Structure 1
Amino acid sequence: MILELDQVTTIFLALAVFMVGSYLNSKIKILDKYCIPAPVVGGLLLAIILTVLRGTGLVEIVLDTSLQGLFMLTFFTTVGLGASFALIKLGGKLLVIYWLACGFLALVQSVIGISLASLLNLDPLIGVMVGAVSMEGGHGAATAFGTTIEELGVDGALSIGLAAATVGLVAGGLIGGPVVKYLINKYNLKSTEDAELEEAAPKKSAVSSVLAPITSRTFMIQLFIIGFCMAAGSYVGTAFTNLTDFALPNYVSAMFVAVIVRNILDRLNGNLIEMRTIGIIGDITLSIFLSMALMSIKLWEVANLALPLFIIILAQVVFIALFGIFVLFRLLGKNYDAAVMVGGFTGHGLGATPNAMANMDAIVSKYGHSQKAYLVVPIVGAFLIDVFAMPIILTSINLFS
């Protein structure tokens, strides 16, 4: 028996999946410890249930995920609107080095994924999915590019990417702390920052908490800006693809249009972009589209690829650990701040920015504060990383499509 659910019911299920995932995260310590996103927890649980129902022949539930693309487009647009060039100046030389390292990582991850996929007699585009797409890109990029690659004829690309992103997320949380601990112990590193930073932090948070309320007018202005970037980006992407025959998905073009719009508006009126509202919209749309993506994973499509995927992901994990210890740590100054940033690099290089922050929180709570790391890692991990990663991923897809 086949049961088809409509758009409204599917969105409701996505919201339910998020709520269940949040509840499980609050109750199961290991999920919270490794910062597994709520949509991943709830979505995978529902995907398993749907797979069992299908496998036992009871019922096959078909979800209507046609609105998933809209939520994905909105999220990537909010990412672009967060890319203020002024933030890059604040980070200085360390930010640039860290940013370039992330670009290099995206390139190497793509090479590792494609090379090993070819050696294991898999489609090179599957290697793309288990490269920078799912490692540095996380579940968001895996969902976005997985859909694109499936449209190119690679069945199961989305499920493979999401599975790889989930394993990468866990791996990033598992090895980040041990890598940094190794560096701290080997080089006898200590935080050089004054205790005044810790005393000032509560005062700063108290001041920042007294902010103007988000009104419906503010919300509508931000929605207008997001809508403009989405619409303009869609046309730009289509025009670029028609002119060059180079596939440029609309969510990528919308993100880059948003970067341009953000920095133009910063020059004209620095108060027009309200990042708290943009952040809320981004968080909501990300949660919904990830929930829809995870709960619709066809697990039966990736079961026979479990061993090849494990081999490729293991190679990715080994590379990022060695690169962090022997290269990035030295480039960033071979000090305590550099070690903490390596922990963040490991987190979002295999998973997502929240994973990076979780790694750094665990480190600084034990060894001392690192203001530089907390400035550089979130800025690069949240949006600047895509400036390098997106062209590398798109080029890889077009080379092998």
Structure 2
Amino acid sequence: MMTISLNLYETVGIGVLLLLLGKYLKSKIGFFRQYAIPSPVIGGLLFAFISLFLHQADILHFDFDIILQEFFMVLFFTSIGFNVSLKLLKNGGSKLFLFLGLAVVFCFLQNFVAVLLAGAVDVNPLLALMTGSTALTGGLGTSAAVAPMVEEAGIAGAKTVAIASATFGLLMGSVMGAPLGNNLIIKKDLVKTRIEDEEEQDIDAQQTHKRPIDGERVTKAMFLILIAMGVGVFLTDLLNTWMAHLIDNIRFPIYLGPMLAATILRNIFDTKDKHFALNPEIQLLGDISLNVFISIAIMTLQLWDLSELAFSLIILLLAQVILMFVFARYVCFRVMGRNYDAAVVSAGMVGFGMGSTANAMANLDSICDKFGYSRLAFFIVPLVGSIFIDFINVLIINGFIIAL
């Protein structure tokens, strides 16, 4: 099989071309618009399936340099940090902790369903556990950290199952989330329940091009993001060094520090100004970074890993898909208030409950681009999905491992 190696510039270039292709297909195909499928997911999946065909036919394999994928990821999450205002926390803090509680319950349910069905499909419960919150809510990072411990306990193939299940989750988190939120908003006519504050109005105006882009403001916003990234990565290293002395196998993602640094900067500005003036420009830069990052992440999925899953493990994963849909549609939506924000938050929960926080934010971005910005969703989903739940999830997983 011939291998084509692509450097970081070529990888980004192809990622952007696929993003543009996805936007074009979305503009021409009503199904994609109707269900708010994110443009980078459309283009990225098209390439991933072509890559799957070429690989399975033993014709061609692509080897990507994805170092800039991480850069765009960190830039995006840094932009999200600038959304976290203590003033908003006073108004929406109860929703944050309510959503965190739902995420914790869901992690437990993912593992409970996996273990409960293990006997029915004749799979070792510890191996079945790798199709639960380890791979889905935890994603590739948690899978890589937890699966070796399970293999050390004598369960062969735990890492393969966990990584393949996480790949499946990334795919389903992208495909399920936005359509679910879209359907809720249209079916229940939730746009009329949307209440905008001043920042949301500014962001909507920016997205609909009602206000011309100011190059100086965009430059200031970019510099502010880069400063927060530089300081923040140092904070992440400090946090991980400290965490290593307390608990093994728990590491914070690289974007946590930049998010915290951005949050600190945002609240410093809030003490001086009534309203954070650069928020629309930061949101714009964040959207660009998210689209490029997701396009690269989806196009580089190695879908052939899913072929390694046995029939019994596919049944376990389909059960997780059903659980995710039911929980997001009938529990999360209702508990979070049955309004516009609740629908957007539910779409976000599908993203990180099946794949990653980046999937969740792509779902939010796609829905909000269609119906309007939800600052509450952009506030609570990344905080729970990228900070709180990763830590709690590992504790829940270890609890199940000990119990089994």
1:60 is paired with a residue of what secondary structure? strand
- 2:355 matched residue in structure 1: none
**1:309 to 2:317 alignment:** yes
**How many Å apart are 1:339 and its aligned residue?**
4.0
Q: 2:335 aligns with which of 305, 318, 328?
A: 328
Change (3 A) 1:175 1:224: closer
Rounded to whole Å, the distance in 1 between the matches of 2:370 and 2:40 is 23
**1:32 to 2:33 alignment:** yes
Q: Deviations over 1:350-389 (max 9, x none)?
A: 233564587689999xxxxxxxx95544433354664543
Check conservation: 1:143, 1:161, Cα contact below 8 A: yes
Residue ranges of structure 1 left out of the alignment (5+ in a row): 134-141, 333-337, 365-372
Q: 1:113 aligns with which of 103, 110, 115?
A: 110
Q: 2:286 aligns with which of 260, 277, 282?
A: 282
- 1:47 matched residue in structure 2: 48
Rounded to whole Å, the distance in 1 between the matches of 2:225 and 2:279 is 9
Q: Calculate the TM-score normalised by the size of structure 1.
A: 0.73
Amino acid at match of 1:322: Y
Q: Deviations over 1:265-288 (max 9, x none)?
A: 236655888323432332233222
Matches within 5 A, 1:101-250: 101-118=98-115, 119-120=117-118, 121=123, 122-129=127-134, 131-133=136-138, 142=139, 154-155=159-160, 157=162, 160-176=165-181, 205=205, 209=211, 213=215, 214-250=217-253
Check conservation: 2:136, 2:165, Cα contact below 8 A: no
Rounded to whole Å, the distance in 2 between the matches of 1:192 and 1:78 is 27
**How many Å apart are 1:151 and its aligned residue?**
8.4
Amino acid at match of 2:344: G
Check conservation: 2:130, 2:161, Cα contact below 8 A: no
How many equivalent residue pairs?
364
Residue ranges of structure 2 left out of the alignment (5+ in a row): 150-157, 352-359
Q: Deviations over 1:229-286 (max 9, x none)?
A: 2233233323332454352234253255325523552366558883234323322332
**How many Å apart are 1:112 and its aligned residue?**
2.1
Rounded to whole Å, the distance in 2 between the matches of 1:158 and 1:179 is 31
**How many Å apart are 1:110 and its aligned residue?**
1.1
1:154 is paired with a residue of what secondary structure? helix
Rounded to whole Å, the distance in 1 between the matches of 2:276 and 2:163 is 37
Rounded to whole Å, the distance in 2 between the matches of 1:26 and 1:156 is 37
Query: Identity rate of aligned residues, in percent?
Result: 21
Check conservation: 2:140, 2:166, Cα contact below 8 A: yes
Check conservation: 1:114, 1:131, Cα contact below 8 A: no
**How many Å apart are 1:48 and its aligned residue?**
1.0
Rounded to whole Å, the distance in 1 between the matches of 2:304 and 2:3 is 18
Change (3 A) 1:77 1:146: farther
Rounded to whole Å, the distance in 2 between the matches of 1:164 and 1:265 is 38
